[in-house]
Amino acid sequence: MLSGILFMLGTVGVLTRKNALLIFMSVELQLNAVNLALVAFSRLHDDLTGQVLAFFSMVVAAAEVVVGLAIIVAIYRRRRSVDVDDVRELRW
């Protein structure tokens, strides 16, 4: 249940924030919420699979954060802004 709330919080953050960094943090929140749920259920069902999966998830999250932050920094250097709405080159 806690993970559910955390996840919802994260989702709202992703959807409503303009600041790229804040969006990122919300994504992290989502991921951690999911991890929490995995571990909890693993504990409940006495199945290690959930914990293993949580590990995977953490690794992927780490990698993703590295890349994502790098991109944000690069964009910032170019445009001096971390406002997501300003970056709309990839449109029709």
Partner 1 sequence: MVSHPNPALWLIPALPLATAAINLLWGRRLGRWAGWLASASVIVSFAVSLAVVSQLVAKPADDRLFLQHLVDWISVGRFVVGVDLRVDGVSATMILVITGIGALIHVYAIGYMAGDPRYGRFFSYMNLFVFFMLMLVLGANYLVLYLGWEGVGLCSYLLIGFWSEVPANAEAAKKAFITTRIGDTLMLIGLALIVFRFGTLDFEVVFGTAGTVLTKDAATAIALLLFAGAVGKSAQVPLHVWLPDAMAGPTPVSALIHAATMVTAGVYLVVRSHVLFELSGVALTVVLVVGVVTAVFAATCAVAQQDIKRVLAYSTISQLGFMFMAAGMRAYGVAMFFLVAHAFYKALLFLGAGSVIHGMHDEQDLRRMGGLRRLMPITFATFLVGALAQAGIPPLAGSFAKDAVLEVAQHSGRETVYVLGSVAAFLSAFYLGRMLFLTFFGDARSDRARAARESPPLLWVPLVLLAVGAATAGWLNVTPEGRLTGFLEHVTGFTPAGQGVAVAALAAVATVISLLALALTWWIYGSGRVDWIGFRERLEPLPRAALNGWYVDRAYDTAVIQPAKAGAWVTAYVVDARIIDGAVNAIGGGVKALADGGRQLQTGFVRSYALAVFLGAVAILVYVGVRS
Contacts to partner 1 by CB under 8 A: 11, 14-15, 18, 23, 84-85, 87-92
Q: Contact 28/65 with Cβ under 8 angstroms?
A: yes
Q: Which of residues 12 and 52 has its CB atom nearest to partner 1 in the complex?
A: 12
Specify the residue, 1 or 15, whose C-beta has the smaller distance to partner 1. 15
Quote the CA–CA distance of 49 and 27 in Å, as a whole number: 23
Q: Minimum distance from CB of 14 to partner 1 (Å)?
A: 6
Task: Give the SS3 label for residue 46.
Answer: coil
| Residue 69, token pair as written in the block | 């932050």
Please say which residue, 1 or 90, places its beta carbon nearer to partner 1.
Answer: 90
